Structure formats: structure tokens, C-alpha cells
Amino acid sequence: MAAAVRGAKRSLRAELKQRLRALSDEERRRQSLFVTQQVLAHSHYQKASRVAVFLSMPDEVRTEDIVLDVFRRGKACFIPRYRPGSRHMDMVRLASPQELAGLPRTAWNIPQPPEDDPREEALAGGGLDLIFMPGLGFDGSGRRLGRGGGYYDAYLRRCREQQAARPYTLALAFREQLCPQVPVDEDDEPVDEVLYEGCRAPGAGAAAGAQPDTASE
């Protein structure tokens, strides 16, 4: 069964990467703006005081405006710091959006503070209220297909162990990343909601009985 799931994941990743490559820059910008507007109006975002935001790659929903708004509202902003050669990731505090331009870049061309840069790690300083989740694919039940590193799944397990309440998780997606069903195994953590153009789909962790919000395109 495990081998079958791995194979299904590989196949779906290849399909989703092809879909994303077919998206024009203009279409990515357009959908990113729509999703950003959903984020800024979302009740979980508005009430959160400690927020973790992924810094987007070219084939992901752009998060630059979300980072700016986090600081504009006076929230604490945390960004991922991946440890090379392992599956370990921390969420470390960003002092200002302007400092992103001076940070070194990872192999994925994402700004990241170096390991010897002492910063507050979110779980050591009070936890997180909200985590924005990247991914390659998502389904209507909150199942998420990542890129295979397992960083976010491991970090969410640490959150359960180290803070009283699990942070709310909001996945940000292009419509092309929505799937009828995402293959998962026992190590995969579901997300609470998936935000994408035209719908807010409650995930497995959302409140029971919640209904999707629809919006005209």
C-alpha cells in the first residue's frame, strides 16, 4: 500500500507541475490577487497575532502582499528556515519586509536567514495562531500534496506537541492545483482550509458543518 501511495503521489506531482508550467505570469498574478483578497478578509487571519507565511516560488500563489499586510496590522511575522540535509524546518521571526531583500537565497531561490542568525523561533516564543501552507495539490477534504520534503507535516506535529492549540492552517492555491482526491499516508497532515479563486473549501480540520464560501469570478 505504501508503494502504491508513493507512486500515486509521484504521478500527481508530475501532472500538477505540468499544469503550473502552463500558467502565464499574468494569470498567476491575477489569481494571486484574488486569493490575497480572500486572506485579508478572512476571520482567522484578522484575529491572528502570530502568523507564519511561506515565501512563494514562481509557481506558487504570491505572498508578498500578505507579508506586507501582516506588518501593516502589527502582527508578528514568521518565515520558514529549512535546515539543509534534513527534514527540519523552523519558523523564525522576520523583523521587517524590507530585510527580505538582504537575506541569502536557498536552492529554491527563496530568501532565508542563515543558521547562525539568531532569531526568535515561533514555538519557543509563544507559538503560532495561523500558518499559511504551500503545496502542489489540494482536495476538498483538506488533503495536501507537498513537494516531498515533509517539512510542513513535521512542523505541524511539533506544533501539536509544543503549544496548547494547533495553529489554524490556510493553504493558498491556484485553481489548477485543485484535485478530486489527493493520495496521502499516515504522516501527511491535513489543512483546515484551501483558499483559491471562486471558493473557500473547508478542509478536514475546519469546523464541523462548515460550508464553502462562493464568490463570483
Residue 77 near residue 71 (C-beta atoms within 8 A): yes
| Residue 145, marked binder | yes
| Residue 135, marked binder | no
| Residue 49, marked binder | no
Among candidates 150, 166, 145, 54, which has minimal Cα distance to 106? 54
| Residue 55, marked binder | yes
| Residue 151, marked binder | yes
Among candidates 59, 132, 54, 133, which has minimal Cα distance to 100? 54
| Residue 96, marked binder | no
| Residue 205, marked binder | no
> For 54, which DSSP code?
P
| Residue 126, marked binder | no
| Residue 86, marked binder | no
**Is 75 strand, coil or helix?**
coil
Among candidates 189, 188, 185, 191, which has minimal Cα distance to 205? 191
| Residue 147, marked binder | yes
| Residue 148, marked binder | yes
Burial class (CB in 10 A: 0-12, 13-18, 19+), 150: middle
Structural element, H or E, at residue 8: helix 2-21
| Residue 10, marked binder | yes
| Residue 146, marked binder | yes
| Residue 12, marked binder | yes
Residue ranges at the known binding site: 9-13, 55, 60, 144-152
Residue ranges at the known binding site for substrate: 55, 60
Residue ranges at the known binding site for ATP: 9-13, 144-152
